[in-house]
Chains A and B, each alone.
Chain A
Amino acid sequence: MSQSLVGEVEPATGPDPDRPRHPEPGVIRGAEARRLVRFLLRRPGLVLSILVVALVVLAAFWPTLFTSRDPLLGVPVDRFQGPGAQHWFGTDELGRDLYARVVHGAALSLKATLIAVGVAFVVGGTIGLVAGFVGRWGEDVLMRIVDVLLAIPALFLSLALVTALGFGTVKVAVAVGLASVASFARVMRAEVLRVRQAVYVEAARSTGARWYSVLLRHVLPNAIGPVLVLATLELGIAVLAVSSLSFLGYGAPPPAPEWGTLISTGRNYLANAWWLSTLPGLTVAATVLATNRIARALDGESATQR
């Protein structure tokens, strides 16, 4: 209500005396970069989160940037060394460097996460888009299926899929992804329905635009935002779900390093080597916290764009 007093931010652009009411008048392209920097400076937590995710991605593709040690090679003399200058994260029961194992584990964990989110995004998004745009009985059928999937707790559904597909990182990832299809489909449909009812979509229709043009130019671009936010949020959920399934013993077979498996093996030495479970667990927690924080930032952004 009071934004008219922001001052003379905007040059007078015509005989129209009323000022913009929108709280943050959108970007003027030249100032975009500066605006982004200011946005980030005011959110140190977000910057840290982006940093964490960047480190995880780097570790996944170029683990040797972080460590030169072999994650699979143990030095029996060095076993059960606590964290220190030599071994940042300590060593395990075979004398393998835990830090190297965590770094090299990033690749497997990230791969599993991306597969899971990718499956959920593509399958769920398509179902939601079709349901929302087609409407009528097609929508009814699709959404009833989605309702049923939602009724089965995600982990149970993943477990059933693992039972059918078998064990291994990729299969676990697919199982986790399929279990999240329902939530993607719901969000996508809700967004398509929201946008489809927007006045500007009817306006496009009333100018004579054909349905595919309306779908591609108006509905999809405006509906995809919240789905991307969900995908970011789903990254964290997938990391947790994949590591849970690995912990239960369905993921990568040892000795391959994978975060969930690392925590799980450390469980046997809880009493005498605290670091074996604690530090990989912290890594997982940091990754999930970071992706959740980024998802929240994206959510805020897409909310102001509506």
Chain B
Amino acid sequence: MSMPSGPAAMPENLLEISDLAVSYRSRSGVVRAVDGVDLTVRAGEIVAVVGESGSGKSTTAHAVIGLLPGSGQIDAGRIRFGGRDLAGVSERELRLVRGAQIGLIPQDPTVSLNPVQRIGDQVAEVLRVHGLADRRSAPLDAVDLLEQAGLPDPAVRARQYPHELSGGMRQRVLIAVAIAAKPKLIIADEPTSALDVTVQRLILDHIQSLTEAHDTAVLLVTHDLGIAADRAQRIVVMSRGRVVEAGPARQILDQPSHPYTRQLLRSAPSLAVARPTAPPRPAPGRAAADRPLVTVENLAKEFPLPRVAGAAARSVRAVHDVSFSINRGETFALVGESGSGKSTTARLVLRLVEPDAGRIVFDGKEITRARGEELRRLRRRAQLIYQNPYASLDPRFSIGEVITEPLRVFRVGDRASRRARARELVERVALPASVLDRRPAELSGGQRQRVAIARALALSPDLVVCDEPVSALDVSVQAQVLELLAELQAATGVAYLFISHDLAVVRQIAHRVAVMQAGRIVEIGATGELFDRPNHAYTRDLLAAIPGGRYA
């Protein structure tokens, strides 16, 4: 460390990015992704770069180690690190910096390890490349590093291949790779966005404690302001390739000066949990409808696993003994991590998947085994909105065709009246009438999800199943779509079966919540009740894992 030179002495800047500009060349021209970005990281501190997709946050981080994807190139600016300008040095010199002085923890652990190389070899490679270990010592060091990264049975794991490890374990391997050469800086690019929430927290805790122990600085790239609030000393907010605001974390969160930051804060669902906003509109009283719209009893579904020759047939229990009911005009949420069976349950209710056992009653009529016309009548009254608005619209259809398809299928009205209905629906989801002639590819994610909502409402159904309807959208768009769903419910009295892994989102919209784990419902109750006084241990785990909690 430097000589003591008075209490006011700032620690030296480890990384100093100034006036950085990065662009991508494509067939349709040059696109500026990062424009005039300034950013500093001091030794040993965690700096979070926060922004929505397309804000240039990842590009900035990758520019530091000269690993821009595809056609990306640095147009201007300096990246000072260790007394040199990394923007100007040769590939050969950059190679000496990568891995040795700056480590990278990539976004998606499931695809970031070489599938045909053993774990241990992949960790040892960093040491070998930089001459930090020889052929004999590298494997032993690798096991050591894996242990430090918190991987159980490191000696065994080192001899395994990536596909034999879970996502969380693979991220620990990548952490071991990143810390192997004891770098001064680690770039963590959305290190947990591909993982389940409970795993997320463990991984972030580990990164934090490891870097604290070695006095390593971290440049944490994330879209989640909650994560930034929990972990970072300083936050840099980016939007459309520029830094809109930067400063100490407290200050950014308490007194955001830029309107964009304020919007981001308002719409960040994880922070909204910490600071409860207006509760969802009250559900209509039971008096309005004396019997529930949907009742599900003891529903079960098993999926056969791919049959392997000679082996006994095996299957997974996706849904096991699930019962609940949904009232008219109510939003009922199913919450759980991936693989909990929540999506399968929704598909069972819609009869898109055949149940193995149990009963489904829709508006007083049993539809568990409905076929043909009976099933089509159900389809007319129960519609579905998908998670991914990029995949759920036929790319060849115009938006008008997409929205009127349910009407055409049920021969409702003639061409002109359907067209009129489409215009009305588009207006209702707050899109201009001009989108009717466009194709899905021309719209943004949020706009497409609005189209999907319009399609779902075309036949004025009683129930709409929303399968993670906002998880593929940016946070600021999420908030708008959720608001729209609530408004439409108030106007039309439609009931929602709302599937989500995101408790924060659920809190904003649901009247009642059921928590699912491994195919079963472990807890069910009114939203406020369940969030404030969770009964089941798993519910408490889920609630504790929501980022942003420390800030509150």
Residues of the A chain whose Cβ atoms lie less than 8 Å from the Cβ of B443: 13, 20
Is the CB–CB distance between A3 and B409 below 8 Å? no
Given A25-B441, A205-B352, also A16-B54 (CB < 8 A): no
Stretch touching chain A among B6-14, B20-28, B158-166, B520-528: B20-28
A204 at the interface (CB under 8 A from B): yes
Greatest chain B CB density within 10 A among A13, A200, A218, A221 is at A200
Is the CB–CB distance between A18 and B395 below 8 Å? no
**CA–CA, A14 and B483, complex, Å:** 15
B474 at the interface (CB under 8 A from A): yes
Given A1-B58, A2-B24, A5-B241, also A200-B392 (CB < 8 A): yes
Given A5-B240, A22-B441, A199-B391, also A16-B477 (CB < 8 A): yes
A144 at the interface (CB under 8 A from B): no
Given A5-B240, A15-B430, A19-B54, also A206-B384 (CB < 8 A): yes
Tell me the nearest residue of chain A to B26, going by C-beta. Answer: A23
Tell me the nearest residue of chain B to A207, going by C-beta. Answer: B406
Task: Return the contact of A21 from the options B53, B386, B406, B476 (Cβ within 8 A).
Answer: B53
Residues of the A chain whose Cβ atoms lie less than 8 Å from the Cβ of B366: none
A163 at the interface (CB under 8 A from B): no
Is the CB–CB distance between B432 and A13 below 8 Å? yes
Shortest C-beta distance, A54 to chain B (Å), equals: 25
Interface string of B46-80 (1 = CB under 8 A from A): 00000011111011000000000000000000000
Is the CB–CB distance between A1 and B352 below 8 Å? no
Is the CB–CB distance between A15 and B480 below 8 Å? yes
Is the CB–CB distance between B380 and A208 below 8 Å? yes
**CA–CA, A28 and B241, complex, Å:** 27
Is the CB–CB distance between A213 and B445 below 8 Å? no
Is the CB–CB distance between A5 and B439 below 8 Å? no
Task: Return the contact of B439 from the options A21, A26, A221 (Cβ within 8 A).
Answer: A26
**CA–CA, A68 and B388, complex, Å:** 62
Is the CB–CB distance between B409 and A208 below 8 Å? yes
Q: Which A residues from 181 to 211 make CB contacts under 8 A with B?
A: 198-210
A126 at the interface (CB under 8 A from B): no
Is the CB–CB distance between B432 and A14 below 8 Å? yes
**CA–CA, A215 and B391, complex, Å:** 17
Is the CB–CB distance between B28 and A24 below 8 Å? yes
Interface string of B31-42 (1 = CB under 8 A from A): 111110000000
Greatest chain A CB density within 10 A among B54, B352, B439, B476 is at B54
Shortest C-beta distance, B346 to chain A (Å), equals: 11
**CA–CA, A306 and B241, complex, Å:** 28
**CA–CA, A200 and B396, complex, Å:** 11
Shortest C-beta distance, B72 to chain A (Å), equals: 8
Shortest C-beta distance, A194 to chain B (Å), equals: 12
Tell me the nearest residue of chain A to B394, going by C-beta. Answer: A200
B450 at the interface (CB under 8 A from A): yes
Is the CB–CB distance between A1 and B59 below 8 Å? yes
Tell me the nearest residue of chain A to B29, going by C-beta. Answer: A6
A222 at the interface (CB under 8 A from B): yes
Residues of the A chain whose Cβ atoms lie less than 8 Å from the Cβ of B112: none
A17 at the interface (CB under 8 A from B): yes
B473 at the interface (CB under 8 A from A): yes
B500 at the interface (CB under 8 A from A): no
Is the CB–CB distance between A4 and B442 below 8 Å? no
Tell me the nearest residue of chain A to B478, going by C-beta. Answer: A18
Greatest chain B CB density within 10 A among A5, A218, A221, A222 is at A5
Residues of the B chain whose Cβ atoms lie less than 8 Å from the Cβ of A206: 350, 352, 379, 383-384
Shortest C-beta distance, B435 to chain A (Å), equals: 6
**CA–CA, A24 and B29, complex, Å:** 11
A86 at the interface (CB under 8 A from B): no
Task: Return the contact of A209 from the options B55, B405, B432, B446 (Cβ within 8 A).
Answer: B405
A42 at the interface (CB under 8 A from B): yes
Given A2-B24, A16-B477, A18-B52, also A221-B241 (CB < 8 A): no
Given A2-B56, A21-B445, also A209-B409 (CB < 8 A): yes
Shortest C-beta distance, B171 to chain A (Å), equals: 21
B444 at the interface (CB under 8 A from A): yes
Residues of the B chain whose Cβ atoms lie less than 8 Å from the Cβ of A272: none
B209 at the interface (CB under 8 A from A): no
Interface string of B503-520 (1 = CB under 8 A from A): 000000000000000000
**CA–CA, A51 and B233, complex, Å:** 64
Tell me the nearest residue of chain A to B52, going by C-beta. Answer: A18
Tell me the nearest residue of chain A to B431, going by C-beta. Answer: A14
Q: Which B residues from 168 to 210 make CB contacts under 8 A with A?
A: none
Is the CB–CB distance between A13 and B434 below 8 Å? yes
Is the CB–CB distance between A207 and B455 below 8 Å? yes
Tell me the nearest residue of chain B to A209, going by C-beta. Answer: B409
Is the CB–CB distance between A203 and B473 below 8 Å? no
**CA–CA, A205 and B375, complex, Å:** 11
Shortest C-beta distance, A259 to chain B (Å), equals: 36
Is the CB–CB distance between B394 and A4 below 8 Å? no
Is the CB–CB distance between A14 and B447 below 8 Å? yes
Tell me the nearest residue of chain A to B57, going by C-beta. Answer: A1
Task: Return the contact of B31 from the options A3, A17, A205 (Cβ within 8 A).
Answer: A3
**CA–CA, A302 and B136, complex, Å:** 51
Residues of the B chain whose Cβ atoms lie less than 8 Å from the Cβ of A210: 409
Shortest C-beta distance, A18 to chain B (Å), equals: 5
B303 at the interface (CB under 8 A from A): no
Interface string of B346-388 (1 = CB under 8 A from A): 0000101000000000000000000000001001100110101
B410 at the interface (CB under 8 A from A): yes
Task: Return the contact of A18 from the options B58, B241, B442, B476 (Cβ within 8 A).
Answer: B476
**CA–CA, A221 and B401, complex, Å:** 15
Is the CB–CB distance between A6 and B405 below 8 Å? no
Tell me the nearest residue of chain A to B467, going by C-beta. Answer: A199
Shortest C-beta distance, B462 to chain A (Å), equals: 14
Is the CB–CB distance between B31 and A6 below 8 Å? yes
Task: Return the contact of A204 from the options B32, B391, B405 (Cβ within 8 A).
Answer: B405
**CA–CA, A208 and B370, complex, Å:** 13
Residues of the A chain whose Cβ atoms lie less than 8 Å from the Cβ of B494: none
Is the CB–CB distance between A218 and B410 below 8 Å? no
Given A26-B439, A208-B410, A213-B409, also A218-B394 (CB < 8 A): yes
Residues of the B chain whose Cβ atoms lie less than 8 Å from the Cβ of A21: 53-54, 444-445
Shortest C-beta distance, B431 to chain A (Å), equals: 5
B binding-site residues for A, Cβ under 8 Å = 24, 26-28, 31-35, 52-56, 58-59, 240-241, 350, 352, 376, 379-380, 383-384, 386, 388, 391-396, 405-406, 409-410, 430-432, 434-435, 438-439, 441-447, 450, 452, 455, 459, 473-474, 476-477, 480
Smallest CB-CB A-B distances: 8 pairs: A2-B33, A208-B379, A4-B54, A199-B391, A207-B406, A26-B441, A200-B394, A199-B392
